[in-house]
Chain A
Amino acid sequence: MNNIKKNRLKDQAFKIWGIACTLLGLVLLAIFIGNILIDGILRIDWEFVMNLPSRHAEESGIYTALMGSIWVLLLTTLIALPIGIAAAIYLEEYSKKNKLSTILEVNISNLAGVPSIIYGLLGLEVFVRIMEMGASVLAGSCTLALLILPIVIVSTREAIKAVPKSIRDASFAMGASKWQTVYHQLLPASFGGILTGIILALSRAVGETAPLIVIGALAYVPFAPSSPMDEFSVLPIQIFNWITRPQHGFVENAAAAIIILLLITFVMNGIAVYFRNKWQKKFK
């Protein structure tokens, strides 16, 4: 009798501990967001979004950084998408399971764990100097594309792997070649999963600061980029720059910019979740 009571108590105790652990992260995030909102929400208006940076806190806006982020995001997608998906298809459908493919797989996972600043150094050496792109949007995008490539590859492979084997069998048995099976069956069936992975990878890219600072992205750019070869800034760098200023006005600006950056990542994650749910329903 006593023992049963004890066990029940332990059960209860663990449940409460578990809830506390789960809430810890969320509560901290909520406090942070609350703080930022108090500091910055009043600063956000159309002018803040459309203004160029300025020496005066109340006149400066995020226009150049926001446009820079959008440019970088688009170019990164254009570069990382075809390469990542092609690599994933190769690894999942074409490569024979041998030592070489195991080494490749392990190292792609390793790449996902390399600190982002190392990618920045790589980008600086290869894209900025050797390929002479300079501190341009293109160099930044190439660097970020490399950074998210492992994530894109791994998530695309998972999505392709999740397509039931019976679909492959059916397609091959109908006389389809490997490529036809990939193109007509596997890619459409895994589209939602691939998209989810890519959006999550991009929402990481949009928040990256360190590698872009290393390749020479500037905190102050007078104009929004109009071609891939232009100099640029991005939102996180703009935030970093404002936070380091002593005047209180810039702290407000930073908070406001953080709200917008968070909004972008939350929306992107939301879209990813939406596609994942929609895609899961299709197969059940």
Chain B
Amino acid sequence: MSEENNESIIESSIKRKYKLQAKDVKVWYSDFMAIKGVSMDIKANKVTAFIGPSGCGKSTFLRLFNRMNDYVDDFKMGGDINIDGKDIYDKNINVELLRKQVGMVFQKPNPFPKSIFENVAYGLKIQGLKDKAFLQERVESSLKQVALWSEVKDDLNKSALALSGGQQQRLCIARTLAVEPSIILMDEPTSALDPISTAKIEELIYKLKDKYTIVIVTHNMQQASRISDNTAFFYLGELIEYDKTNKIFTNPEKKQTENYITGRFG
């Protein structure tokens, strides 16, 4: 008994070097195998980019980390995903709690059809936090972190749907930050935005990595090379190459990676 205990302590301390770990992860949608055995370790306080052609499984893989695939019919999964050394697909895991720790920003800005304030306060309110001063303060600090505060501070009660696309996406990031996650997953967060809004979000991502571990799926190669520390290239459900971003973009090991990055396919 004690031996087993010791081992798990050692094991988890090794795991702590990495925020997220995937071990031989496989995903099926009924008979279709979307992820074919992917293992990777993601470091804390880094930006990790997933790139690859459409349908390569990168978004599916990203959504495993906050269990958003659970709602997909016929979703089946094999392998392990650990966060801080804990198996998040364990039966005893509270999925709602997991999602407070692992925030997510989506491809299309998806604010709730409510006021700006209500949007940012939503995550806190559903946790049962009601103290007005506290909510006010957290909303303000979250909006400041995404540099939206000065633009909306007089309109907190206005509908979030009245904001521009770029502002909406920053609001969605603020909403995620408000519950103080440690990991933020971003699924092509700028693909629906204009270049100026995109630049603002990229700047924001760069700033946020001091406090958060960020995993971002992107179709934009320049974006991956600009903002990420590590890059993973997926193709047909497999992880082809995973390395320092610099290395992937200047001197990739695999021919397939090079072909994709130079625009020869995908």
Contact = CB atoms under 8 A, between A and B. Distances in A.
B73 A97 contact: yes
Q: Which 10 A-B pairs have the closest CB atoms?
A: A166-B110, A175-B99, A173-B104, A175-B100, A174-B123, A170-B110, A175-B96, A180-B126, A176-B126, A177-B96
A153 interface: no
B21 interface: no
B176 interface: yes
Interface of A: 97, 164, 166-177, 180, 184-185, 188-189, 282-283
A184 B110 CA distance: 15
A175 B113 contact: no
Contact of B99 (A173, A185, A282): A173
B113 A282 contact: yes
Interface of B: 66, 68, 71, 73, 96-100, 103-104, 106, 108, 110-113, 122-123, 125-127, 172, 175-176, 179
A185 to B, nearest CB: 6
A175 B179 contact: yes
Contact of B126 (A167, A168, A175, A282): A175
A166 B113 CA distance: 11
Contacts of A164: 110
B167 to A, nearest CB: 16
Contact of A174 (B71, B97, B176): B176
A60 B207 CA distance: 80
Nearest to A98: B73
B126 A166 contact: no
17 contacts: A166-B106, A166-B108, A169-B68, A170-B172, A171-B122, A173-B104, A174-B103, A174-B123, A174-B126, A175-B96, A175-B127, A175-B179, A176-B126, A177-B126, A180-B126, A184-B126, A188-B113
B108 A167 contact: no
A189 B113 CA distance: 7
Contacts of A175: 96-100, 123, 126-127, 179
A184 B108 CA distance: 21
Contacts of B108: 166
B106 A170 contact: yes
Contacts of A184: 122, 125-126
Nearest to B178: A174
A9 B125 CA distance: 65
A170 B123 CA distance: 10
Contact of B68 (A166, A173, A176): A173
Contacts of B127: 175
A240 B247 CA distance: 86
Q: Which of A166, A175, A185 has the most CB of B within 10 A?
A: A175
A173 B113 contact: no
A174 B175 contact: yes
B159 to A, nearest CB: 9
A167 B110 contact: yes
A172 B179 contact: no
Nearest to A189: B113
A167 B113 contact: yes
Given A166-B108, A173-B176, A184-B126, 11 more contacts: A97-B73, A167-B113, A168-B71, A170-B175, A172-B71, A172-B99, A173-B66, A173-B68, A175-B97, A175-B123, A282-B113
Q: Which of A166, A169, A170 has the most CB of B within 10 A?
A: A170
Contacts of A97: 73
B110 A174 contact: no
Contacts of B176: 173-174
B48 to A, nearest CB: 19
Contacts of B66: 173
A168 B71 CA distance: 10
Nearest to A183: B126
B263 to A, nearest CB: 30
Contacts of B113: 167, 188-189, 282-283
Contacts of A172: 68, 71, 99
Contacts of B73: 97
A184 B128 CA distance: 13
A188 B159 CA distance: 14
Contacts of B68: 169, 172-173
B110 A169 contact: yes
Contacts of A282: 113
Nearest to B73: A97
A168 B66 CA distance: 14
A281 to B, nearest CB: 11
B112 A167 contact: yes
A165 to B, nearest CB: 9
B132 to A, nearest CB: 18
A170 B112 contact: yes
Given A97-B73, A283-B113, A176 B96 contact: yes
Nearest to B111: A170
A240 B240 CA distance: 78
Nearest to A163: B113
B106 A174 contact: no
Contacts of B111: 170
